[in-house]
Structure 1
Amino acid sequence: MTTVTPTRAAWSFDAIGTVWTIETDAPLTPAVRTEIDDVMASFDREWSRFRTDSVVAELSTGGRSVPAPPDAAVMLDVYAELDAATDGAVNPLVGDALSRLGYDPGYTLAVHGEPVAAPARWRDVLRWDSSTLVLDAPAMIDVGALGKGRLVDLVAAVLSERIDGGFIVDGGGDLVARGVSQRVGLEHPYDPRRVLGVFQVTDAALCASAVTRRAWGDGLHHVLDARTGEPVRAYAATWAVADDAMHADALATALFFEGGPELAASWGAEWVRMSTDGRVEWSPGSTAELFS
């Protein structure tokens, strides 16, 4: 999705199931790399539903209250906005629905039963404030709709404090550029050799999602409608540009549903999306260079 600029220092590594690349004017010191590793490890330990020792795994049995991780209120407040904008299609308790379809902690990639909807009244059982996170009923939290974007922002915050000059953080296609500009191709979901267009990202974030990524089986992929527990069918790929990666990531999910464009407008964000029949839509005033 992105091209690393050869004249800049680049550090690439694997984390949370994807490849990350950080570009800076000068190589990062070991101390900064260690701090970034620690940020990622902490986030994974708190929010990964693929770990038995994570905070969300501890909560999943229900009737539990734990000290709120630092990102809980920030992310779950945005989930509340996503839920309202998409009429319930985006829901942080979709973890069990994903597992039912095979995207489970064991990566079985085998369907375990009929699709199951996430709890529609999820805010009645999942409660949070600045100090406490409570889950009253058995359920699995999944922050996939915006979690990677949030982690990109956390890494960017470390770099903003620790280094001079601009930088790019690319977490498997979720990207933030600060103090620099990056030209990003919009990869065709059905043909990775082609791009639909280009966004020029400057002091902003771009996140993308596609039904052809993290996909398995016939029509099975990671973007579910929480109301049904079934994979979405109308749209194949989305791209969103916002001030920070968490909101861009959230919009890349919301744009698979009705209400996504309206939410993007309220946040002052740009977007492009492609339907499964090949039509391409974009936000009013979009600065994306789209190819015919």
Structure 2
Amino acid sequence: MKKTLVTGADGFIGSHLVEQLIREGKKVKAFVYYNSFNTWGWLDTFPKELLEEIELFAGDIRDPNGVREALREVDEVFHLAALIAIPFSYHSPDTYVDTNVKGTLNVLQASKDLGTKRVLVTSTSEVYGTAQYVPIDEKHPFQGQSPYSATKIGADRLAESFYRSFEMPITIIRPFNTYGPRQSARAVIPTVITQLLSGMTEIKLGSLTPTRDFNYVKDTVQGFIDIAKSDKTIGQEINIATQQEISIGQLAQELIDQINPKARIICDEQRFRPEKSEVNRLLGSNKKIRELTVWEPKYSLTQGLAETIAFLKENLNRYKADIYNM
């Protein structure tokens, strides 16, 4: 049986990916961030019988020795470990370089030396910056509009260089905005929902006009898995997108209508990105993933939001709705 390593397994998308890989009969090693509390992020919420099927490895993606050890006897790796919050990258860019660029380099170097059979590197739609045309396909120019996006561009280009220089079996997977259960409150959907569920009637947000292409997390995870199953995807950069967009203002109003129609939106200045850093439009093309795999999105935005609301109702104590989560 193939052994699969998932870095960032303790996070939002990573934990869902681990769960789905186990369901599909994979032997999974979960790379979680080492900490003195011995916590495993969202994996701590898994039932005991599911955790018993997972090989846990605590380490730091910035440490090349630990990454190499984690990759031993592994056939494929899904590399998701990253720092992703855009506002935090404005004042702590060094940590983003260390984690996103050097961390990816550690995975690539170890995979090359150990002969890992598939290497799937997670990118982000933020590498495109504001759309110069829509839908955004994989040939769209890159634009580093935040230190976060710049480090992800750097990580992607390193991955490309290892494919071209060493003929490594690498694929760059580029999901557009993923949402769903377990997402942190630094993202817009849980930010709005948790404020509403906490009884707030003034919902604080940044800019309302940008548009996003939202993927429900189960669709994103299935995209990862379907991409990994296809040899046609080796050497490719592939979007995971619904090819539909909605503005942040429209999205927030839809959630208000569902949860508390008496609430209203307040624009909070500290939540605005700098003008030239704001990505005003993201609408992805999913033509390539449909051509190279069997993937297609299963969840509508309405369905995905309903599942997300239900999860947050049950887990509201995990969120600090009254503060701005960077």
- Per the TM superposition, whether the score is higher than 0.5 is no
Structure whose residues are more often helix by fraction: 2
| TM-score, normalised via structure 1 length | 0.28
